[in-house]
């Protein structure tokens, strides 16, 4: 059930439920479309897109960006490497870690999937985000994310 506020105090449990359910539904819809068109899932697309935009990142950089554990991140990177979309190169600054780079196949995949992702997300959100409440809602989410990241809230402990 969606929660609303007309200038009064925000129903925090309702806000949380709305936020999580929206994210889950969008994620699942994107997952289905990416799987159908590119044989990847949303998490793989997100990793590939991050590596496209941040070449030479470490597994720890991915884990921090997505606020997930190192183990899960490493397994995700292993899967991308197994598909031939990512390669690991030694980290000259730290022999214990490696730097991740997209292969040519990985770059082609993420570029094609980016079109599908953007198109699908636009279809799913246009009616709401193009309404008068859309830009303020998007800004509120951006502000909330910024504050959580600034204060390092919600990072995995393991």
Give the C-alpha separation, 14 to 4, whole Å: 8
The reply to whether 110 falls in a domain is: yes
Q: What is the pLDDT of residues 112-132, one digit of tens each?
A: 999 999 999 999 999 999 999
Residue 2: Cβ within 10 Å count: 8
pLDDT in the model for residue 95? 87
The reply to whether 138 falls in a domain is: no
The reply to whether 5 falls in a domain is: no
Confidence check: pLDDT of 18 > 80: yes
The reply to whether 154 falls in a domain is: no
Q: In the structure, what pLDDT confidence band is assigned to residue 61 with cuts at 50, 70 and 90?
A: very high
Give the C-alpha separation, 143 to 31, whole Å: 26
Confidence check: pLDDT of 3 > 90: no
* Cβ atoms 141, 79 nearer than 8 A: no
Give the C-alpha separation, 99 to 56, whole Å: 5
The reply to whether 104 falls in a domain is: yes
Q: For the domain that residue 64 is a member of, what is the CATH number?
A: 1.10.10.10
Q: What is the sign of the dihedral through the CA atoms of 120, 115, 88 and 80?
A: positive
The helix/strand/coil state of 67 is coil
Widest CA span in the chain = 55
**99 strand-pairing partners:** 89
pLDDT in the model for residue 129? 94
**88 strand-pairing partners:** 100
- Count of domains observed in the chain: 1
* Cβ atoms 109, 48 nearer than 8 A: yes
Domain around 24: 14-122
Confidence check: pLDDT of 79 > 80: yes
Distance of CA 71 to the CA centre of its chain: 17
């Amino acid at each position: 059930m969606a929660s609303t506020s007309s200038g009064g105090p925000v129903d925090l449990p309702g806000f949380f439920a709305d936020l999580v359910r929206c994210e889950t539904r969008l994620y699942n819809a994107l997952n289905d479309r990416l799987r159908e068109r590119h044989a990847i899932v949303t998490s793989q697309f997100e990793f590939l897109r991050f590596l496209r935009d941040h070449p030479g990142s470490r597994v720890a950089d991915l884990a921090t960006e997505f606020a997930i554990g190192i183990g899960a991140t490493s397994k995700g990177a292993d899967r991308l490497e197994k598909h031939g979309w990512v390669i690991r190169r030694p980290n000259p600054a730290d022999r214990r870690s490696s730097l991740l780079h997209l292969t040519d196949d990985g770059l082609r995949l993420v570029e094609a999937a980016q079109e599908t992702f953007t198109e699908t997300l636009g279809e799913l959100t246009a009616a709401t985000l193009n309404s008068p409440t859309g830009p303020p809602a998007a800004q509120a989410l951006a502000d909330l994310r910024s504050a959580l990241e600034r204060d390092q809230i919600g990072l995995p402990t393991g």
